[in-house]
Structure 1
């Protein structure tokens, strides 16, 4: 009998190395648990429908088909996408189909050897912790039942659908495509071999923009890098933009499942997700005249705090993970929500991050202002001050080392770090040391692996480096005495 798989939902879904932690047995088990959980919450006697999609990773289509087959055997109706799709496109289709939920096969921005499952609710948003806790409990129940997770008869599922047309219609309602079409922008797009390939490019070509796309073919190895739109991975995109003769130009990049956005300005400079988030917030308020709560995660720039205060907007800070932002979106009128990794969601759309929608909204912002992206970033800094940021991930000997570091810093925080004075300590998710200059250092151990995540924001890159260097020395010291 095969070994029961290890399954735990993290920040957004269950992920693992293909054929190691992430297996067909595990996918079938989670599909059974999701089906049972959704059926239990559904009125008795009514059919339950689940939308299923997948990205471009190795075996993703077969994993998605396996999940659909299992659910079909449990009398749950399924609709499987005709091809690979970004997560936000599947999410947008769920309420259109009037489905009770969705299952997306993807490991998002993780390395090529990984795959995973994301669960979405009836409104298209990320599953809250309460739901994933129920799914995990059902997984444990199945594992403890004799033959409960292995060897189950399956019924091949063959219902498929194309979620792209309703998504394109939603975007046309959300963004001023005509204004973007008049901008004469030259756009270079890098989907990083992921599921967003062809989608934004097709929309923009359809309104008359000059568009070129790189890394827009199936390559499950993603060119040997993790499909995460960070500056260090976008060198070719930056070079393409820099080499264009046009003055009105921009580079856009998406992660593996299309829910995160990265950007390159007209000089070939990487624009951080924090800056994009701030620019979109400013645009929605100043140019669109909209209002509502601004939502950010604990590791996101204080530019959002300052902009929200300057416009009289309520601000909510959540733990790290877009599922926490989605919970706020569901319970109160909001304007925008975002996180440091490039995931942004806006009012009038689904309670989900969407890299393509964010990209189009950024193009609308540029078309409205009639200024290059780099100029707009400099104007933003003139308004809220310079904000430099960097994240550093440290491998640790054990997960306990990370927890011990958090405990020590939280119980005995330093009064200053190389002359940088600490004003307060915040512990919403990890330990954040906030300085008198508004800068901060966040120390947060991973909940699933021996990794310590260090985040820092300060007025200068030199200060950011000094904060991260101190945290690294501190971590090394604890491991050395452990």
Structure 2
């Protein structure tokens, strides 16, 4: 069917909600936007789906939610009866339509006789991961668009280990989702039946209590917090999202007494009215926290994104201003503290392991090596970290200490199997207390790390290419890099090229080795000076990302290299 025919199919649907009927009428007068909404189904991949809220098959609405959940239900129907009885845990964040989407998913599952455990109100993504394990559910659904702007929402599926579904299961699920040709015809339990159905269980406080009990293990040195918890001044902003309730309770439980929440951003708000984008990676997201931090002379500012799986932080500089750290810098600071604290306590396991993505900083590797701790690199996507944790728990080959991605995702303890900003919030506060006891800030701690391991600096360059043409342009760029492989960047030779789609590692002199990761559309260029550049299309947004990493003996030299690499990439993508 053409997009025009699909549009007419929606217009003629009798049971369409009034808000979608009105939007369809408006779309009729804007052919370009209408085509974008109906030209192809919203892509459902290994990370689920994410898109603009609205009418159409390429939008987030109750029908695309039903379609995705119908695919999950059919996937579960193909399992045995005991598997179906385990059910699905469902949580949602503070975005527009999130509660409605969560209940539509539950009603779709119930139509198949599958139980659903639905949170009573908004909860963080890591608590959904925890809930899957707590209820021994077969799967989990998280309604969230992470740190995207207010117009978006999304749908993520979790496996029985509490991690996002691994590739094999995700591919099987995707196939079932794509079998559902017409989302308008997916049957769901009626509103009346849903209110009395024993297949839909509303959950909340019981899971919160169980999660917070596990949170106690995140603290490494309770004596340190008992001593410094009343002195450390911390500002925390949940950026209008889900982090407030659990974050506040977790900090109090750990023993921190001098933290303040940014009042304007502590209220759940689907429009994120105080920020352009609720993304803790961006300096602008810290505007209100910085204002309050300067007033209170705070040691540390922390922000979590709307579904509280990512965490960003700003540290106080010697002149009293604040600097937002990168995800790589925060990862390095936390790894350094975790390994040092365990070593001092005589509790660093001989088989300790740290996990990170292939596009995260090698500064973390240098730190791990000092503590004779193994560093394992996995593909981008926290599900690959979760897979390794599961493997280690089964074969006891390694003891998990920490996992992180440069995109501000961290995990300290494995009772959750996805990024957990609540865990990172409590740990980073402990690290700040550790430095404060020495008369230092986290900024000082980072400078100590640079002085010992070298000046590592990284930057992610995201090029947004929206719509039909954008999607094609991203594919063409990846094909171009594979066909015309660069031999140098900014005058520095490429010493090795890793193609994670072809699963090959090729050195400049022609030696080829096989890569052992699952296939992924990523290219990584290792340069002769220890720097590297990686390229990959985003799995959840219409972007192609360039990851640039440098290392040098001085900060100035590292900065200069980064600028030169960025200029070289800009020329390539012009």
Q: Give the TM-score normalised by structure 1.
A: 0.90
CA contact (8 A) 1:399 1:445 kept: no
CA contact (8 A) 1:294 1:314 kept: yes
- Please tell me whether residue 199 in structure 1 is matched to residue 246 in structure 2: yes
Counterpart pick for 1:295 among 332, 339, 355: 355
Counterpart pick for 2:416 among 350, 353, 358: 350
Q: Which residue of 2 aligns with 1:399?
A: 471
SS in 1 for 2:455: coil
Cα 1:406–1:244 shift into 2, 3 Å = same
Q: Which residue of 2 aligns with 1:130?
A: 168
Cα 1:141–1:10 shift into 2, 3 Å = closer
Matches within 5 A, 1:312-331: 312-331=372-391
CA contact (8 A) 2:110 2:188 kept: no
Q: Which residue of 2 aligns with 1:454?
A: 546
Moved more, 397-406 or 258-267: 397-406
Q: Which residue of 1 aligns with 2:531?
A: 439
CA contact (8 A) 1:33 1:138 kept: yes
TM-aligned CA deviation for residue 104 of structure 1? 1.0
CA deviations on 1:171-219 (whole Å, 9 max, x unpaired) are 0133245643432211100111111123212332453511211211021
CA contact (8 A) 1:42 1:48 kept: no
SS in 2 for 1:173: helix
Moved more, 174-183 or 315-324: 174-183
Cα 1:34–1:217 shift into 2, 3 Å = same
SS in 2 for 1:159: strand
- Please tell me whether residue 277 in structure 1 is matched to residue 327 in structure 2: no
CA deviations on 1:307-363 (whole Å, 9 max, x unpaired) are 222223322222221122222222123322211111112344322210110121122
Separation (CA, whole Å) in 2 of partners of 1:438 and 1:240: 40
Counterpart pick for 1:159 among 176, 192, 201: 201
Counterpart pick for 2:232 among 174, 180, 185: 185
Between Structure 1 and Structure 2, which shows a larger proportion of helix residues? 2
CA contact (8 A) 2:233 2:300 kept: yes
CA contact (8 A) 1:142 1:148 kept: no
TM-aligned CA deviation for residue 408 of structure 1? 3.4
CA contact (8 A) 1:181 1:209 kept: no
Separation (CA, whole Å) in 2 of partners of 1:423 and 1:262: 33
Give the aligned CA root-mean-square deviation in angstroms.
2.5
Moved more, 364-373 or 386-395: 364-373
CA contact (8 A) 2:215 2:250 kept: no
TM-aligned CA deviation for residue 73 of structure 1? 2.0
Q: Which residue of 2 aligns with 1:475?
A: 573
Q: Give the TM-score normalised by structure 2.
A: 0.77
- Flag structure 1 segments of 5+ consecutive residues without an equivalent: 477-482
Cα 1:105–1:450 shift into 2, 3 Å = closer
Cα 1:405–1:140 shift into 2, 3 Å = closer
SS in 1 for 2:47: coil
Cα 1:185–1:10 shift into 2, 3 Å = farther
TM-aligned CA deviation for residue 365 of structure 1? 2.4
CA contact (8 A) 1:455 1:468 kept: no
Matches within 5 A, 1:72-471: 72-143=110-181, 149-154=185-190, 155-156=193-194, 158-162=200-204, 163-176=207-220, 179-183=224-228, 184-206=231-253, 207-214=255-262, 215-223=265-273, 224-232=275-283, 233-245=285-297, 249-267=299-317, 268-289=322-343, 290-291=348-349, 292-332=352-392, 333=398, 334-369=400-435, 370=437, 371-396=440-465, 397-428=469-500, 429-446=521-538, 451-459=543-551, 460-471=558-569
Moved more, 254-263 or 286-295: 286-295
Separation (CA, whole Å) in 2 of partners of 1:444 and 1:121: 25
TM-aligned CA deviation for residue 113 of structure 1? 0.7
SS in 1 for 2:10: coil
- Flag structure 2 segments of 5+ consecutive residues without an equivalent: 1-8, 12-37, 393-397, 501-520, 552-557
Separation (CA, whole Å) in 2 of partners of 1:400 and 1:9: 17
SS in 2 for 1:299: coil
CA contact (8 A) 1:174 1:349 kept: no
Max Rg structure? 2
SS in 2 for 1:320: coil
Query: In the comparison of the two structures, how many residue pairs are matched?
Result: 472
SS in 1 for 2:243: coil
Separation (CA, whole Å) in 2 of partners of 1:8 and 1:137: 12
TM-aligned CA deviation for residue 148 of structure 1? 8.8
Separation (CA, whole Å) in 2 of partners of 1:46 and 1:55: 26
Separation (CA, whole Å) in 2 of partners of 1:448 and 1:230: 17
Separation (CA, whole Å) in 2 of partners of 1:277 and 1:45: 37
Cα 1:189–1:227 shift into 2, 3 Å = same
SS in 1 for 2:180: helix
CA deviations on 1:275-316 (whole Å, 9 max, x unpaired) are 111122222222114343322112111112212222233222
CA deviations on 1:382-422 (whole Å, 9 max, x unpaired) are 12211122212223453343333333334444443333333
Q: Which residue of 2 aligns with 1:480?
A: none
CA contact (8 A) 1:38 1:48 kept: no
Moved more, 328-337 or 160-169: 328-337
Separation (CA, whole Å) in 2 of partners of 1:448 and 1:67: 20
Separation (CA, whole Å) in 2 of partners of 1:88 and 1:29: 25
